[in-house]
Amino acid sequence: MPKEIFTNISLKTGFSSLTCPFIILSLVLDLLVFYLSLMNREQIGSMTAIGGFVNEANICDKFLNYQNDNDVQIWLSIMGYDYQKIETLTAVGIPPRISRQTALNLGISEDNLEETARFKKADIQVRLEITVDNALCIENISLKKSNRSAGFNQVDKRPVDTYKRFWEFDEEIAKTLKLFTGELLPETILSPTEISTIGDNRRMFLTELPRAEVDYMINYFEQNKYLVISDILRGRGGFSADWFLVTRKNSSEEVDWILKDINFVCNFYCQGEVVISPRGSLKIGRVTMQRKGGTPDPTSLQFKINPLELFD
C-alpha cells in the first residue's frame, strides 16, 4: 500500500465518529485508485504494437526515437523514468560474443571482464542522462522473441563441466548429468544386455538412470534452484539483465510485448517443484533442463523456458 494512503488514514481518523462512513468511503476510493493504477501498469506492459519489431537492432532504434515512440515511453515509465526529463539516451546492442575492447568501451572494468563475458545475459544496454539530478542511469535488457506457435527459447547452453565450475556441484552429480547428455556413453555403466533395454544407446534419460543418483541430483537443484535460474536468466557481472522484454508475433503479423523486472522473472520461473518430466528430462520450476542434441556440441546441457507464459 502506498505511503500516501497511510497518511490519509492517519489524518482522517482524527474526525468525529459522525463522519466515519465518509472516512471509510474515502479510504475505499483511495485503495481502489491504487489498485487500478497497478492494473493499468500491467495492461500497459502488454499493449499491442502495430508494425513489428523483432530483433535487437529494431529495439535499439525504437529507444533512440524515444521522444516520438509511444512503446518506448511506456517502457521507460515501467522502468521508473519520465521520458521528458531525459537529457540524452543511447541504446546499443550487446553481441553474443563480446570482445575485451567492446566490453571496456561499454563501461566494464578490467576486474569484471571475465565474469561479465561468462555470464552475459543482456542483449541491449540503454544509457540515460536525467536532467533533474544529472545522473547517469544504465539499464540492461534481455530480449526474447517468440511466436504463438513456438514459444520455447533456449536461455543457456554449456558443457556439464562448465556448470560444475559455476555451481560447484560434486563429481557424482556431474557423472549423472554427463550420462544424461551423452558425454558419458551408457556403456560406461551398463552391460550390453542392459543397453538393449534403453531408448537410445548414445545417452540415458533420467528415468533410465539409477534412482538414488537421480534423487541426489534433484536434491541439489532443489537446494540451489534460485541460483541456477538467476544465472541462466539474469546472469552476473556488468551485462547481467535488469529487464526482460518479450515480443510475441501473432499470425496477423502484429507484435505485442511485455516488459518485466528481472527479479519478477526469476521468481516466476522458480515457481514449481524440481521433478522428472514425462520425457525423462528435468523440470526446475518452470525451466526445462535437457540434452541439447543436434550440432554443434550435442552433449551440452541446455536450459529452456517458454517466455509466452509471462503473458498469462
Residues 193-221 as b/e (b if ≥16 CB within 10 A, e otherwise) read: eeeeebeeeebbbbebbeeebbeebbebb
pLDDT at 44: 37
Which amino acid would we find at residue 184? L
Q: Do 241 and 128 contact (CB within 8 A), yes or no? A: no
Query: Of 3.40.1350.40, 3.40.50.1820, 3.40.1390.30, 3.30.70.3190, which CATH number belongs to 49-147?
Result: 3.40.1350.40
Question: What is the predicted pLDDT for the residue at 15?
Answer: 35
Cα distance between residue 301 and residue 303, in whole Å: 7
Q: Within a 13 Å sphere around the CA of 147, how many CA atoms are in the beta-carbon half?
A: 5
- Residue 205 CA to its chain's centroid (Å): 27
| Predicted local confidence at residue 248, as pLDDT | 87
Instruction: Please enumerate in sequence order all residues whose Cβ is within 8 A of that of 10, keeping only pairs 6 or more positions apart, or say none.
Output: none
Residues 6+ apart with CB under 8 A from 86: 66, 76, 128, 129, 130, 131
Contact 301, 158 (CB under 8 A): yes
Dmax of the chain from CA atoms?
88
Contact 174, 273 (CB under 8 A): no
* Domain residue extents for the chain: 3-44, 49-147, 153-234+263-311
Tell me the pTM.
Answer: 0.80
Whole-angstrom distance, CA of residue 190 vs CA of residue 71: 57
Take residue 203 and report the three cell numbers written for it. 545417452
Predicted local confidence at residue 25, as pLDDT? 52
Instruction: Kindly report the backbone phi and psi dihedral angles of residue 66, in degrees, each rounded to the nearest multiple of 5, phi listed first.
Output: -60, -30
What DSSP line would sit under 48-66, residue for residue?
EETT---SHHHHHHHHHTT
pLDDT for 250: 75
**And the C-alpha cell for 213?**
543418483
pLDDT in tens, the chain (312 residues): 333 333 333 333 343 443 445 445 555 544 444 444 444 444 334 444 444 446 888 899 999 999 999 999 999 999 999 999 999 999 999 887 778 888 777 778 787 788 888 888 999 999 888 776 778 899 999 999 887 766 688 999 999 999 999 999 999 999 999 999 999 999 999 999 999 999 888 899 999 999 999 999 999 999 999 999 999 999 999 899 999 999 988 766 678 899 999 999 999 999 999 999 999 999 999 999 999 988 788 999 999 999 999 988
CA 265 to chain centre: 5
Q: What's the gap between Cα 191 and its chain centre?
A: 42
Sign of the CA dihedral with 116 first, then 121, 125, and 130 last: negative
Specify which residues 129 forms β-bridges with.
88, 136
